[in-house]
């Protein structure tokens, strides 16, 4: 499936969220299969709950949703599933919010890892993963000039989306 690039990712017209979630789950299944990893039913359900909206979701919110569905679920169960999903590059952890969001670029690299840059609206809570070659180049150049090797790159920019600003 080809991703549509939009100038304003917060206002993508005609966004088919059901299709978005199904595509993310299919991409996750395919990525895990290629890597010889198992997307167990619980991991898949946690991923589906993360993708439920384009707003970051906390681990305890996920725990509550799972407990509503399944009865008693221990917190380590959710954290282990989230650790797996992060390690596979299927979700990103947003440290500033202590929350998780689905990866928009699953499967682009075999190891599942890539630089992740987010625009996070402080009002409506929507978070969008964005890509910009110039930003990637600037960060790589800066690190190179400093003799620094980047192990993980997540940039979180918070502010107001156009809809909330108006």
Residue 103: Cβ-neighbour burial (10 angstroms; 0-12, 13-18, 19+): buried
Q: From CA 1, how far away is CA 152, in angstroms rounded?
A: 26
Per-residue pLDDT of the chain (166 residues; tens, 9 = 90+): 334 434 455 656 677 778 888 999 999 999 999 999 999 999 999 999 999 888 899 999 999 999 999 999 999 999 999 999 999 999 999 999 999 999 987 766 565 567 889 999 999 898 999 888 899 899 999 999 999 999 888 999 999 998 888 8
């Amino acid at each position: 499936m080809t991703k549509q690039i939009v100038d304003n990712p917060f206002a993508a017209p005609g966004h088919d969220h059901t299709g978005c979630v199904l595509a993310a789950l299919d991409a996750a299944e395919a990525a895990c299969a290629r890597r010889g990893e198992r997307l167990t039913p619980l991991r898949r359900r946690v991923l589906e709950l993360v993708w439920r909206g384009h707003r970051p979701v906390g681990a305890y919110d996920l725990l509550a949703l799972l407990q509503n569905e399944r009865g008693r679920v221990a917190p380590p169960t959710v954290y282990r599933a989230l650790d797996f999903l992060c390690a596979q590059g299927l979700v990103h952890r947003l440290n500033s919010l202590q929350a998780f969001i689905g990866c928009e670029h699953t499967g682009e690299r075999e190891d599942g890892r890539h630089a992740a840059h987010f625009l996070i609206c402080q009002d409506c809570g929507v978070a969008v993963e964005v890509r910009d070659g110039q930003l990637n180049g600037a960060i790589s150049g800066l690190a190179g000039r400093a003799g620094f090797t980047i192990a993980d790159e997540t940039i979180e920019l918070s502010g107001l989306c156009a809809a909330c600003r108006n």
